[in-house]
Amino acid sequence: MAIFERSHGTVYTGVTLNLLAVTAALQYCIVGSLLCPNTHVIGLSGIVFSFFSYIAYKEHELKPVIFTFKLSGREYSIPTLYSPFVFLVVTFILLPSSSLFGHLAGIGSGYLLGMDKLKILYPPSKIILFIEQKLQKPISLLDGIVVYYKEEDAIATRGVSYNPLLSQDVESAVNSDTLGVHYRGEGHVLGNNASA
Q: Report how far residue 157's alpha carbon sits from residue 95's, in angstroms, rounded to the nearest whole number.
A: 38
Q: Please, are residues 5 and 173 in contact by the beta-carbon 8 Å criterion?
A: no
Q: Report how far residue 148's alpha carbon sits from residue 123's, in angstroms, rounded to the nearest whole number.
A: 19
Least confident of 74-88, 96-110, 155-169: 155-169
pLDDT(176) > 50: no
pLDDT in tens, 20-54: 999 999 998 888 778 777 777 777 888 999 999 99
40 part of the active site:
no
What is the rounded average pLDDT for all residues in the chain? 83
pLDDT of the residue at 184? 54
Exactly one of 60, 83, 103, 109 is catalytic; name it: 103
Mean per-residue pLDDT for 41-68? 90
Q: Could you tell me the pTM of the whole model?
A: 0.76
Exactly one of 45, 72, 98, 140 is catalytic; name it: 45
Mean per-residue pLDDT for 166-195? 53
45 part of the active site:
yes
Confidence of residue 126 (pLDDT cuts 50, 70, 90): very high
Q: Report how far residue 51's alpha carbon sits from residue 165's, in angstroms, rounded to the nearest whole number.
A: 12
